[in-house]
Chain A
Amino acid sequence: MLQFTSSDYADYIKKAYDFIHSKGDYITALDADTGDGDHWINMDMGFGKLNEKADELGKMNISDELKQIGMIMMSVIGGSSGVLYGSAYLSAAAKVKGKETLAMQDVCDVLDSMLKAIMERGKAKEGMKTMIDSLAPAVKAFQDALVSGKTDQEICELVARASEDGAENTKTMEAFKGRATYQANKGLGHLDPGAVTMSYQILTLMDCMKEKLS
Chain B
Amino acid sequence: MGDGPEADDAERDNKTMKKIINDPTKVVSECLYGMELASPDKLEYTPELEVISRRNPGNKVALISGGGSGHEPAHAGYVGKGMLDAAVAGNVFASPSPDRILKAVEKVNADKGILFIIKNYSGDIMNFGLASTLAESEGIQVDSVIVKDDVAVPDSEEGTGRRGIAGTVFVHKLTGAKAEMGGTLSECKAVAEKTIANVRTMGMAMSPCILPAAGKPGFLLGDNEIEIGMGIHGEPGIEKTTVKTANELAGILLERIFADYNYEHSEVAVLVNGLGATPLMELYILNMEVQKILKEKGIRVHRTYVGNYMTSLEMSGCSISLLKLDEEMKTLLDAPCDTIAWKQF
Contact = CB atoms under 8 A, between A and B. Distances in A.
Interface of A: 71, 74-75, 78-80, 82-84, 86-87, 90, 121-123, 176-178, 181-182
B159 A75 contact: no
Interface of B: 90-91, 94-95, 97-100, 122-123, 125-127, 129-130, 133-134, 158-160, 235-236
Contact of A178 (B99, B100, B122, B133): B122
A87 to B, nearest CB: 5
A196 to B, nearest CB: 20
Contacts of B123: 79-80, 83
Given A84-B126, A176-B158, 16 more contacts: A71-B99, A74-B97, A75-B97, A75-B99, A75-B100, A78-B91, A78-B95, A78-B97, A79-B94, A79-B97, A80-B122, A83-B97, A83-B98, A86-B97, A87-B126, A177-B160
Contact residues of A: prevailing secondary structure: helix
A74 B130 contact: yes
B130 to A, nearest CB: 5
A178 B159 CA distance: 10
A123 B99 CA distance: 21
Contacts of B125: 123
Contact of A122 (B90, B97, B100, B126): B126
Contact residues of B: prevailing secondary structure: helix
* B90, B98, B123, B160, most chain A CB atoms within 10 A: B98
Nearest to B126: A83
A93 B134 CA distance: 13
B42 to A, nearest CB: 28
B130 A86 contact: yes
Given A79-B123, A80-B123, A177-B122, A74 B160 contact: no
Nearest to B160: A177
Given A75-B97, A182-B236, A80 B159 contact: no
A74 B99 contact: yes
A83 B130 contact: yes
A86 B97 CA distance: 10
A90 B102 CA distance: 15
Nearest 5 pairs between A and B by C-beta?
A75-B99, A83-B126, A83-B127, A78-B97, A75-B97
